[in-house]
Amino acid sequence: MAGLIGVIFDITERKRAEEKLHLAASVFTYAREGILITTADGTIIDVNDAFSRITGYGRDEVVGQNPRLLSSGRHDQAFYADMWRALIDTGHWHGEIWNRRKSGEVFVEMQTISSVRDALGKPREYVSLFSDITVLKENERRLERIANYDALTGLPNRVLLSDRLRQGMAQAQRQGHLLAVAFLDLDGFKAINDSHGHKAGDELLIGVATRMTATLRESDTLARIGGDEFVAVLFDLADAAASEPMLSRLLAAAADPVPAGNLLLQVSASLGVTFYPQAAEVNADQLMRQADQAMYQAKLAGKNRYHVFDAEQDRSVRGHHKAWSAFNAPSLSTSSFSITSPRSTCARAYCLAPRP
């Protein structure tokens, strides 16, 4: 009597394993992120299509090579040492890294590197996933520039000026040097705008800004805070006298004629300056107000000059103001005294016009 004998094998686990392998292969092939796999010693054993699209290197060009062929040269040895330390200690590293495409173009990527360990826990391969974020970084830089720089002249704006001034004040305290804040307002700019139009006025502002910047040291800051108002911060001054040549050069640069089409435009500038540290504690906003008040005195004294804020006289005026405020209203109404505004007496009678 003939019969049939059947043998049944449970291949569920094998099918699951095959499905996992198929899924892994699909992810490797179709992922938008670049994928690079190396041996434990750093030899490239496989890359996906996205890797080739991002870097410009074909698979055959990189297999057997070291990832160093992508190096941009922007990172030092300490950077890579920290990366390997993280991989050894934690099994992964994540961060931004600058690399170079086959074309030579440098690009920035967001990269995650993970170690694949064997049964004994030793690294067997390293898998790197990365995305090209160059466009994102460029957009960030563009937004940062819009937020921190004047669109017309390219100078730092009020936001960046405030940050640099506060940093400079902290540095001046640590190092025992002086810092100068110079508030500069162009004389006659409105008349040029009214007579020749805003385009000519803009060309004048650009020309004046360029020339004034050229008179300063690289460590100094010149900012445009609006309209025809500029602020210069002069760092690391041995004493107040050390600022005088720079202030005179700023005034001379502001007064140089600027060509604008067929026109030759010329203005002058009034400049007020104050110094930090002072005997009394002051903040960045107070320094700006002091320099602004001194600039106003320079205008009253005839323009095209600078005026130095006198903190001691300012305190004296404020003291007199408080003393008079202590009197009652009737006595003030019958008094023949008048109180002079601190704005008009805050700076000492010390105005120097630039030499012709």
Active site residues: 228
H helices of 109-197, in order, are 134-148, 158-175, 189-196
Radius of gyration over every alpha carbon of the chain, rounded to an integer in angstroms: 34
Answer whether 200's CB lies under 8 Å from 261's CB. Answer: yes
Length of the chain: 356
| Among candidate residues 15, 80, 94, the one with its CA nearest the CA of residue 42 | 80
| Alpha helix (H) residue ranges in the chain | 12-30, 49-55, 59-62, 77-90, 134-148, 158-175, 189-196, 198-215, 244-255, 284-300, 311-325, 329-334, 342-345
> Do residues 348 and 310 make contact, with C-beta atoms less than 8 angstroms apart?
yes
- Which amino acid type is present at position 176? G
Report the first-to-last Cα separation within the chain, whole angstroms.
129
- For 39, residues 6+ apart whose C-beta sits below 8 A from its C-beta are 45, 124, 125, 126
Give the integer Cα–Cα distance in Å for 354 and 252.
7
Torsion of CA 42, 43, 45, 46, to 10 degrees: 60
CA distance 297 to 347: 7
Which residues is 100 bridged to in the sheet? Answer: 106
Nearest to 238 by CA among 213, 274, 272, 275: 275
Closest CA to 284 of 167, 187, 125: 167
User: 170: alpha, beta or left, given left = phi > 0 and alpha = psi -120 to 50?
Assistant: alpha
